[in-house]
A and B are shown apart, each in its own frame.
Chain A
Amino acid sequence: SQQGEEDPQALSIQEGENATMNCSYKTSINNLQWYRQNSGRGLVHLILIRSNEREKHSGRLRVTLDTSKKSSSLLITASRAADTASYFCATGVNFQKLVFGTGTRLLVSP
């Protein structure tokens, strides 16, 4: 299975702190993406990192990819209460389909 597995399953932090979520996968990929899902809503694309990239930034987000370890991390800096959501990594082999991981539920308290 290509499935990504995130850890931790749940993370609870205070506003202003950084949140780090990790994702591991099993097969070779050509891209890895992170999505956010507010409760009961659709998924929103956050960032895409290709297999030949090691790090990418977008605003308060920083994503790393280590293809030798088949793992990725998502760092959200200076978190806000509005960052409370579930975060999923998704792996793509050929840009045809994405396989989503199990997700990390992030709770940011004011």
Chain B
Amino acid sequence: EPEVTQTPSHQVTQMGQEVILRCVPISNHLYFYWYRQILGQKVEFLVSFYNNEISEKSEIFDDQFSVERPDGSNFTLKIRSTKLEDSAMYFCASKQDTGELFFGEGSRLTVL
């Protein structure tokens, strides 16, 4: 069964460092998303991406964040200068054109 894959599963970084989280969405999907979940809290929308551009972003997705789909298969989230409060589980998701989102297993980011 096709699935969304994310790497790394866990990354530990120092405050101020750049981090890139990678995702391979399901191949025939058209819409791509990043969500994050701070430990014990709700799942928060960060950004949606369609037709090679950002279609919507939340207030959380400030200038420190960027997304790219560099090669037609990978979908990356970059955090330029990490802060302590960026520590969270980051989920990539994709969908075709129906409402159902398919999520990856997440990348746990720990900022020290």
Contacts and interface: CB of A to CB of B under 8 A. Distances in A.
Question: Are A and B associated in one complex?
Answer: yes
Interface in B79-112: 89, 91, 93, 97-106
B106 to A, nearest CB: 5
Give the dominant DSSP class at B's interface: strand
Given A96-B48, A103-B42, A31 B99 contact: yes
A102 interface: yes
Nearest to B97: A95
Contacts, number: 59
A98 B103 CA distance: 12
B43 A43 contact: yes
Nearest to B93: A43
A25 interface: no
Contacts of A33: 99-101
11 contacts: A31-B99, A33-B99, A33-B100, A40-B106, A88-B42, A96-B55, A97-B33, A97-B56, A98-B99, A98-B101, A100-B42
